[in-house]
Structures are given as C-alpha cells and as structure tokens.
C-alpha cells in the first residue's frame, strides 16, 4: 500500500510537509528557486516581541538582487498549516520553482 501511495504522490508534497513543519515548529526556512531565470522564493517564521504573535515572512526576487517583494502575515492567517502549505508548494511547482534543501 505504501508503495502505491508513493507512486501517486505529487512532486511538491515533500516541500509541503517541510513547510508545514516549519510553520508548526515556528522555526526554519523554506526556499524555492527557478533555475531558468534565477528567480527565488523564500518563506520563514519571524519572531516578534510578543510570544504568541509570530509572523510569516515571504520574500521573492531574482538572481544576485535584493528581494523585489517582502510580505509579512500573522502566522494565524495560515489557519490549517497543512492545507496552506500544500497550496503554496503546489503553486511554486506550477510556476517552475523547485525546493532547495540544505
């Protein structure tokens, strides 16, 4: 059974699991890059002065340039972190980005 589930798994699901863990643990970074044009996309949890109010920072930009856009959202806006993570990772994959793992 497990083998069949792995065969039908989407290519972005591993990244979605990683992003979900980052959001739930409130630490870490998820990064994607598009090799064709050097574009990158990064999500990380940024602590604030208030312990219950962490912020998700989303950045994207191009090769060897500062971020062209920075978006900050309260972590609570993600609601169901698993569902939110799958949506983000699926869109990154559809736009030609691939996860970067360190």
Condensed to tens digits (0 to 9), the pLDDT of residues 50-71 reads 877 889 999 999 887 777 889 9
More confident residue, 31 or 80: 31
Res 78: pLDDT? 65
- Which pTM was predicted? 0.79
The pLDDT confidence band at residue 49, using thresholds 50, 70 and 90, is confident
Rounded to an integer, what distance in angstroms lies between the CA atom of residue 47 and that of residue 92? 25
Domains identified in the chain and CATH numbers: 2-97 (3.30.1300)
The pLDDT confidence band at residue 75, using thresholds 50, 70 and 90, is confident
Determine the average pLDDT of the residues in 5-31.
Answer: 82
More confident residue, 67 or 72: 72
Determine the average pLDDT of the residues in 26-43.
Answer: 91
Res 41: pLDDT? 93
């Amino acid at each position: 059974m497990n083998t069949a589930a792995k065969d039908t798994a989407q290519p972005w699901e591993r990244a979605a699991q990683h992003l979900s863990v980052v959001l739930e643990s409130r630490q870490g970074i998820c990064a994607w890059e598009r090799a064709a044009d050097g574009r990158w996309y990064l999500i990380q949890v940024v602590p604030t002065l208030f312990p219950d109010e962490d912020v998700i920072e989303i950045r994207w930009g191009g090769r060897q340039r500062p971020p062209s856009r920075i978006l900050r959202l309260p972590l609570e806006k993600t609601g169901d972190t698993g569902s939110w993570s799958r949506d983000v990772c699926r869109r990154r994959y559809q736009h030609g980005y691939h996860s970067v793992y360190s």
